[in-house]
Amino acid sequence: MSHAGLSLPAAAGAVSEETVAFAAELVDRSGKAPVIEAALASPTGRRRPLPVRAVLAALVCLAIDARPLFLTEATRLLFQQASGASRRLLGVTGTATTERAFLAAYRRVRYCFHAILSVMDPSGLPKNRRLTPGQLAARTRKMTPAQAAAARQRLEAFINSLLEASISVLDQEEQAAFDGSAGLDATAVPLFSRGPSKRSGLCASDPDGGWYVREGDHRDAEDHKGRKRTKIAWALEATIATTARPPGAEPACPNLAIGLALTRPGADPGGTGARVLASAAARGHKASWLGFDRAYTAALPRKFHLPARALGYQPVMDYRADQLGIQASTAGAILVEGSWYCPAMPEPLITATAGLRDHATGQAAYDAQIAARGPYQLKRKDGPDADGYQRLSCPAAGDHPRLICPLRETSLSPRDGRPKIFQPPDDPPKVCRQAAITIAPDTGARYRQDLPYATPAWHARYATLRNTIEGLNGYVKDPAHEALAQPARRRVRGIAAQSLFTALLLIAANIRKIRAWRAQTAQDKTSIARRARRRRTSLADYLPDG
C-alpha cells in the first residue's frame, strides 16, 4: 500500500483530538476495519452500537501513549476522556458520567473487541479457566486444520496491515532509504497466566501458550543431557522482522518492525519466519540481506531457506558446533560453512572453525585460515537464474586462476605465490574436469550463504543485522514505554488478543522511533552520523611555526 507521510501528534499528555485523529488515520490506512465490519454484519438483530474502527483507534491511542492495553482504559478514553469532536470522528455516541453508564459502555467495548477477535481466532481452546484435561477437551471448539490455517492467515494479515500503517507515517524520502536488509528473530511474549500444574493436573488459564526457554528451540524444558533449563516462562513467541541498514552506512532512516507473527514457543520457527518475510514482501518491501540466528539455520530448507531465497533474501547466518566443516557436496565441490570450495582444500582450512570453538586454535591463526580459504573458493560463472540454479567453476580454471593445479594446465604458469594443489583427486570429479558445474538451489540449501563465513565482510553484515533485531526486541520491552515483557499490562487471554496487543506495541515502538528520528535530524543532521569530538588536544597543536 502507498500513502503519503504523516505528521506525528504530541509525544505525551492527555488524549488530544490530534492523537485520536492520528490513531484513526492509522486504522483507516490499514484498511481492515471495513473488512471486519463486513464479516460481522448480520441481516437480523440490533445494530452494534460501537464501530470496530473506534475500538481499534482507542487501543492505538493507549499504545502510543504507553498506557496499559486494558479494555477499561479504552472505555474510559472513548466515553470520558475524548472530546465531542473526537467521539464524532470515531462514531461513538454518548458519554459515561456515572458508574452504571461506565459499566454499560465497558460491555459495549468488550463485546466489540471480542467480536473483532472472533473473525480471526485460530484457536478453539477455552480461556480464563484452569481445567482438567477432560474438561479442556470437552470445552474446546472444534476446528479443522484448514479452518485454523485460514483463521491464522486472517489474523496475521490483520496485524501486519496495522503494522504497515505505522510504517506509512514515513515520507517518501525516508521510505526510499531502506535498502531491503532485514533482521529476523523470535522473542518471548509472556502471558498473564500461570502454566499448567503437574501437581493439580490443571491446564493453564491461557492454554494457547507454552513453556519458553532461551536455549535450544525455545520449547524444551530439558537439554540433551536431561538437565532442566532455566529462565522458563509461560508465553507465546513473537517472530519479528525489522529493517536494517548496511554496515558502516550513515543512518538515513529509522529501523522499524515490518513483520510479525505469534505462535507457541518453538512451533515451526522456519515456517513462521517465512510467513513473516512473505507478508513484508507482499506489502512491497524490498528484499536484500537477511540476518538470523542458529534457530533458523536448523530449520527445514523447504520451509525457510528456500522460501526466503525465493523472496529475494540473501541469508547471513551462523552455525552450531555440529554444523561446521563440510556440509554438502555436488559434482566434487564441497560446501564448507556456506560456500563452495575445491575438493582439494587442505583439511586444516576445512576444520578451522571447529578448532577455534575447541580452543585448539587462537583467533589470529583462525583469521589467517579463513583468509587462506579464499583462493580455494569456486568462482561464480553465471546465475543464480530465475529458478535459482547457479554456474560455478574451478578456482584454477580460466584466464585468472587462483590456484596452481596439475589438472589445469593453464594454471601451472607463472609459478607465483598462488597456493598449489599437491594431491589432486585420483579420480577427478566434474568440477575438476568441466569448465563449470551447475548447482541446484536445493543442494546444501540449509547452510548456503553468499558471504564467506567468518570473513570481515560476513562479520560486519551479520553483526549489523543481528544487533538491529535484538535492539528492537529490547526497545519494545522497555518497561517505561511499550513494556512487551510485562504481561499484566495486556490481560486478555488467547493468541488472537495477544497478537493484536503485540502489533499495537510494535506500532507504538515504530512511532516512537520515527518521532525520535525526526527530532534528532531536525536538531542536527550531522550529529547522527558523527560522534562529537572528545579529544581535548592533538599533536597538530604542537607543530612548530614555519
10, pLDDT greater than 80:
no
User: What mean pLDDT do residues 109-138 have?
Assistant: 96
- Give the separation between CA 295 and CA 307, rounded to whole angstroms: 16
- pLDDT exceeds 60 at position 531: no
Q: Is 334 helix (H, G, I), strand (E, B) or coil?
A: strand
Grid cell digits, residue 360 = 585448539
- SS3 assignment for 313-339: CEEECCCCHHHCCEEEEECCEEEECCE
Report the pLDDT averaged over residues 423-439. 93
Residue 112 amino acid letter: C
Phi then psi dihedrals of residue 222, to 5 deg: -130, 150
Q: Distance between CA atoms of 206 and 495, rounded to whole angstroms? A: 9
CA-to-CA distance for 436 and 432, rounded, in angstroms? 9
Burial class (CB in 10 A: 0-12, 13-18, 19+), 409: exposed
Beta-bridge partner residues of 437: 392
Q: What pLDDT sits at residue 3?
A: 75
Nearest to 78 by CA among 53, 95, 98, 97: 95
CA separation for the pair 48, 92 (Å, rounded): 11
Set of cell numbers at residue 524: 542536527
- Nearest Cα neighbor of 192 from 508, 494, 509, 500 is 494
Read off the pLDDT of residues 202-251 as tens digits, 9 standing for 90 and up.
Answer: 999 999 999 998 765 555 555 445 555 556 899 999 999 999 999 988 88
pLDDT the model gives residue 48: 85
Contact yes or no for 75/111 (Cβ under 8 A): no
Longest Cα pair distance anywhere in the chain, in angstroms? 96
Q: State the pairing for strand pair 210-212/326-330.
A: unpaired
Q: What is the mean pLDDT of residues 376-400?
A: 93
Give the dihedral of Cα atoms 476, 480, 482, 487; nearest 10 deg: 100
Beta-carbon contacts of 270 under 8 Å, excluding residues fewer than 6 positions away, are: 296, 299, 300, 303, 304, 305
Chain segment 242-284, per-residue pLDDT in tens: 999 999 888 888 999 999 999 999 999 999 999 999 999 999 9
φ and ψ of 260, to 5 deg: -155, 145
Residue 47 has pLDDT above 80, yes or no: yes
Place of cell 536445493: 442
**What was the pLDDT predicted at 164?**
97
What pLDDT digit, counting tens, does each position of 177-211 carry? 899 999 999 999 999 998 999 899 999 999 999 99
| DSSP annotation of 331 | T
Q: What is residue 390's three-state secondary structure?
A: strand
- What is the CB neighbour count within 10 angstroms for residue 124? 13
Cell of 229: 533449563
What is the per-residue burial (b if ≥16 Cβ within 10 Å, else e) of 19-50? bbebbbbbbbbbebbebbbeeeeeeeeeeeeb
Q: What angle is formed at CA 297 by the lines to CA 294 and CA 298, rounded to 5 degrees?
A: 95
CA neighbor of 188 nearest in space, from 137, 280, 291, 263: 263
Under 8 Å between Cβ of 248 and 485: no
Neighbouring-strand partners of residue 184: 241
Type of residue found at 254: P
Q: Which three cell numbers stand for residue 356?
A: 577455534
If you average pLDDT over residues 168-177, what whole number do you get? 91
Average pLDDT, the chain: 91
Q: Are 447 and 338 a contacting pair, CB within 8 Å?
A: yes
Which residues fall within 8 angstroms of residue 86, CB to CB, at 6 or more apart? 15, 17, 20, 21
Of 534 and 331, the one with more pLDDT: 331
First to last CA, the chain: 65
Question: Which residue matches cell numbers 455516541?
Answer: 93
Place of cell 484513526: 24
- Global pTM value: 0.90
**Count H helices, E strands: the chain?**
19, 12
Of 291, 289, 454, which Cα lies nearest the Cα of 374? 454
Mean pLDDT over 36-49 rounds to 87
CA gap 249, 238 in Å, rounded: 29
CB 423 within 8 A of CB 344: yes
pLDDT at 14 over 90: no
Q: What is the DSSP letter of 374?
A: G
Question: Mind listing the pLDDT tens digit for each residue in 479-500?
Answer: 999 999 999 999 999 999 999 9
The answer to whether 78 and 105 are in contact (CB under 8 A) is: yes
Q: Which residues pair with 329 in a beta bridge?
A: 334
* Cα gap 10→15, rounded to integer Å: 10
Supply the DSSP string of 203-227, one letter for each residue.
--SSTT-EEE-SSTTS--SB-TTSP
How is 269-310 classified by DSSP, letter by letter? HHHHHHHHHHHHHHTT----EEE--HHHHTS-TTTTHHHHHH
Write b or e for each residue in 457-491: b if 16 or more Cβ atoms lie within 10 A of its Cβ, otherwise e.
ebeebbebbbebbeebbebbbeeebbbbbebebbb
221-234 b/e with 16+ CB inside 10 Å = b? Answer: eeeeeeeeeeeebb
**Grid coordinates in use for 447?**
547452510
Radius of gyration of the CA atoms of the chain, in A: 28
